[in-house]
Amino acid sequence: MKFLDQAKVFVQSGAGGPGCVSFRREKFIEFGGPDGGDGGRGGDIVLECVDGLNTLIDYRYAQHFRAQRGHHGMGSDRTGARGKDVVLRLPRGTQIFAEDGETLLADLTKIGQRVVLLEGGAGGAGNTRYKSSTNRAPRRFGPGTPGQETWIWLRLKLIADAGLVGLPNAGKSTFLAAVSRARPKIADYPFTTLHPGLGVVRIDDGELVLADIPGLIEGASDGAGLGTRFLGHVERCGALLHLIDGTQDDVVGAYRTVRAELKAYGHGLAQKKEIVALNKTDALTPEDIEAKRAALAKASRKTVHTISGIAGTGLQPVLRLLRKAADLRRQRDAEAAGADAVS
174 labeled binding residue: no
Q: State how far the alpha carbon of 184 is from the alpha carbons of 96, 176, 268, 299, in Å.
A: 28, 8, 27, 31
313 labeled binding residue: no
138 labeled binding residue: no
Amino acid, single-letter form, for residue 168: P
300 labeled binding residue: no
212 labeled binding residue: yes
111 labeled binding residue: no
81 labeled binding residue: no
Count of C-beta atoms within a 10 Å radius of residue 22: 21
Phi, psi of 15 (to 5 degrees): -75, 155
161 labeled binding residue: no
308 labeled binding residue: yes
75 labeled binding residue: no
Which residues fall within 8 angstroms of residue 41, CB to CB, at 6 or more apart?
Answer: 14, 16, 17, 70, 82, 83, 120, 121, 122, 123
244 labeled binding residue: no
127 labeled binding residue: no
169 labeled binding residue: yes
288 labeled binding residue: no
Best CA proximity match to 69, nearest among 12, 150, 113 = 12
54 labeled binding residue: no
Give the three-state DSSP class for 234.
helix
135 labeled binding residue: no
172 labeled binding residue: yes
279 labeled binding residue: yes
38 labeled binding residue: no
Best CA proximity match to 190, nearest among 218, 214, 163 = 214
340 labeled binding residue: no
Annotated binding site: 166-173, 191-195, 212-215, 279-282, 308-310
Annotated binding site for GTP: 166-173, 191-195, 212-215, 279-282, 308-310
Q: Which residues are annotated as a binding site for Mg(2+)?
A: 173, 193
